[in-house]
Amino acid sequence: MRFFSALRRVWPPGIAALFGLAFTGAAGADTVSHFTLDNGLQVVVVEDHRAPVVQHMIWYKAGSADEPPSASGVAHFLEHLLFKATDTLAAGELSATVAANGGRDNAFTSFDYTAYFQRVAADRLALMMQMESDRMRNIRLTPENIATERDVIIEERNQRTENNPNALFSEQKRAAQYLNHRYGVPIIGWMHEMQSLDMQDALTFYDRYYAPNNAILVVSGDVTPAQVRGLATRYYGAIPANPDLPPRLRSQEPPQTAERRIVFRDPRVAQPYVSRSYLAPERDPGAQQEAAALTLLAELLGGGTTSFLTQRLQFDTQIATYSGAFYSGVSLDRTTFDLVVVPGPDITLTQAETALDQALDAFLTAGVDAGQLARIKKQIRAEQIYARDNVDAIANRYGQALASGLTVEDVQAWPDVLEAVSADQILSAARKLLDKRASVTGWLTQEEPS
């Protein structure tokens, strides 16, 4: 629960990881069932009987973007605090119990959700639900918990952000991308706000958001829907819904009408690069077409060795030693489409950026290569088929999607939506996306830029 506390796109160990979002397809033929308990708890069951193990996850539809002003980091802070005592469990007892039963457990926090999971032998599922449902309502925090765990998250920020120019750059760039939305505030929190997080901040967030009508239970592995329904009703069904759960409305962006740039200089920068983000639409319930087009666009532009940017910037010319394009539409509110160019030897950031812009123009002029699009769609279908073997990944996919405002049906429709995207739709989405007025261009550099 300490060092797996957020999306890796946010805590990059390096450039590659920063932009190394896996392309995750969806699950056309997943053995998935879902239902909702009377108290509002959504339940998703992913059956896989090949091994006698289960993954048990609780996703709260509350992440850093749901935090109140001045309390950034409290979603992640609370995630840490959920490993402290409850009425019936001592601090650390839940994890110790999972380990004693041969399992492992952890948790993570993102902009739109906070999730807790255990992976254990299938016959321990009831015990997991007993403990997880307990800490949904019964945590008992002490002032010492607050002081100690606040030090832990501050040290976590020191290690992951303050000591990492990539992360600091990414944070400043994101703050420049969002003019009004909380996605501009880092998941882990601004240091000065983390330092003043207190028991009241944590409990207010907990009392408001940790409730069955704001949660999704996902169980994958060697279980049946009937088993999960029985256990979930017994353990989670007893918890009343929170009647005061607020509607999930965040401050939305105003029109972004002025192109932005930032330069971040740090003597620790080993590898300068240019990074460009555009504000981009997300997948919405029943309306995933544009996000699907952008998903394919990212693959076409910068998804691997045959992609447009790679061909043009790394092979046709030696402008770049690395280039990439990244987009994930799973997001409650507007997300970003990201491009990166790491210049080759003796190439300046100016040259790299100019080459990037020329390549984007060339792509819009050339249009989508039909053969390349067909190859990418085929590759995605293959990945989706492989992905069915990874039952935990399927559980993650459903939990993340449902916590981000999508439905089970949206997840199941996604492969077909992707398949149906035409070259024209991709080009049209690209033209709409690549509007510099809604973009931030960032330079990470050690020196004064040339």
Q: Which of 47, 67, 79, 290 is catalytic?
A: 79
Which of 32-40, 176-184, 274-282, 313-321 is the region at the interface with a second copy (rule: CB under 8 A)?
A: 176-184
In which residue are the tokens 């994890």 written? 95
In which residue are the tokens 């489409």 written? 337
Measured N-to-C along each axis, helices 74-81 and 143-157 cross at an angle, to the nearest 10 degrees, of 120
Candidate residues 15, 57, 78, 185; the one interacting with a second copy per rule CB under 8 A: 185
Q: What would the x/- binding string for a second copy be over residues 49 to 88, using CB under 8 A?
A: -------------------xxx-x----------------
Which of 181-189, 202-210, 307-315, 407-415 is the region at the interface with a second copy (rule: CB under 8 A)?
A: 181-189
Candidate residues 264, 278, 308, 326; the one interacting with a second copy per rule CB under 8 A: 264
Candidate residues 130, 213, 251, 379; the one interacting with a second copy per rule CB under 8 A: 251
Candidate residues 175, 269, 373, 385; the one interacting with a second copy per rule CB under 8 A: 175
To a second copy, the closest distance from the beta carbon of 18 in angstroms equals: 16
Please name which of 41, 58, 74 lies closest in space to residue 116, comparing C-alpha atoms.
58
Task: Assess contact for 6 and 76: CB atoms under 8 A.
Answer: yes
Task: Assess contact for 153 and 186: CB atoms under 8 A.
Answer: no
Candidate residues 248, 261, 334, 381; the one interacting with a second copy per rule CB under 8 A: 261
To a second copy, the closest distance from the beta carbon of 411 in angstroms equals: 28
Active site residue 79: yes
To a second copy, the closest distance from the beta carbon of 175 in angstroms equals: 4
> In the window 320-359, what residues touch a second copy (CB under 8 A)?
none
Measured N-to-C along each axis, helices 408-420 and 391-403 cross at an angle, to the nearest 10 degrees, of 100
Q: Which is nearer to a second copy, 2 or 437 (CB)?
A: 437
Q: Applying CB under 8 A, what is the total number of residues that bind a second copy?
A: 36
Q: What distance in Å separates the CA atoms of residue 267 and residue 7, rounded to the nearest whole number?
A: 27
To a second copy, the closest distance from the beta carbon of 70 in angstroms equals: 4
To a second copy, the closest distance from the beta carbon of 258 in angstroms equals: 4
- Under the binding rule (CB under 8 A), the answer on residue 256 touching a second copy is yes
Q: What distance in Å separates the CA atoms of residue 120 and residue 52, rounded to the nearest whole number?
A: 9
Please name which of 26, 15, 5 lies closest in space to residue 326, comparing C-alpha atoms.
15
| SS3 at position 256 | coil
Q: What distance in Å separates the CA atoms of residue 309 and residue 67, rounded to the nearest whole number?
A: 38
- Under the binding rule (CB under 8 A), the answer on residue 163 touching a second copy is no
Q: What would the x/- binding string for a second copy be over residues 193 to 232, using CB under 8 A?
A: x---------------------------------------
Candidate residues 168, 199, 241, 269; the one interacting with a second copy per rule CB under 8 A: 168
Q: Which is nearer to a second copy, 220 or 256 (CB)?
A: 256
- The tokens for 321 are 């030693």
Q: Which is nearer to a second copy, 73 or 399 (CB)?
A: 73
What is the 8-class DSSP label of residue 96? H
To a second copy, the closest distance from the beta carbon of 254 in angstroms equals: 4
- Under the binding rule (CB under 8 A), the answer on residue 254 touching a second copy is yes
Task: Assess contact for 42 and 409: CB atoms under 8 A.
Answer: no
Task: Assess contact for 328 and 335: CB atoms under 8 A.
Answer: yes
Task: Assess contact for 83 and 94: CB atoms under 8 A.
Answer: yes
Q: What angle do CA 419, 423, 425 make, to 5 degrees?
A: 85
To a second copy, the closest distance from the beta carbon of 250 in angstroms equals: 7
Q: Which is nearer to a second copy, 42 or 441 (CB)?
A: 441
Task: Assess contact for 109 and 5: CB atoms under 8 A.
Answer: yes
Candidate residues 50, 143, 244, 249; the one interacting with a second copy per rule CB under 8 A: 249
- The tokens for 435 are 């509007």
- Taking residue 123's Cβ as centre, other Cβ atoms within 10 Å add up to 12
Q: What distance in Å separates the CA atoms of residue 77 and residue 167, rounded to the nearest whole number?
A: 19
Q: Which is nearer to a second copy, 137 or 265 (CB)?
A: 265
Task: Assess contact for 383 and 22: CB atoms under 8 A.
Answer: no
Q: Which is nearer to a second copy, 307 or 439 (CB)?
A: 439
Give the list of residues 6+ apart from residue 210 with CB closer than 8 angstroms, or none: 60, 62, 136, 137
Please name which of 342, 400, 344, 348 lies closest in space to residue 22, comparing C-alpha atoms.
400
Candidate residues 100, 143, 243, 252; the one interacting with a second copy per rule CB under 8 A: 252
Q: What would the x/- binding string for a second copy be over residues 110 to 129, using CB under 8 A?
A: --------------------
Q: Which is nearer to a second copy, 165 or 329 (CB)?
A: 165
Query: Looking at the DSSP assignment, which residues form a beta bridge with residue 217?
Result: 43, 58
Please name which of 240, 214, 267, 147 lies closest in space to residue 403, comparing C-alpha atoms.
214
- List the catalytic residues: 79
Residues that bind a second copy (CB under 8 A): 68-70, 72, 168-169, 172-173, 175-176, 179-180, 182, 184-185, 190-193, 249-252, 254, 256-265, 437, 442
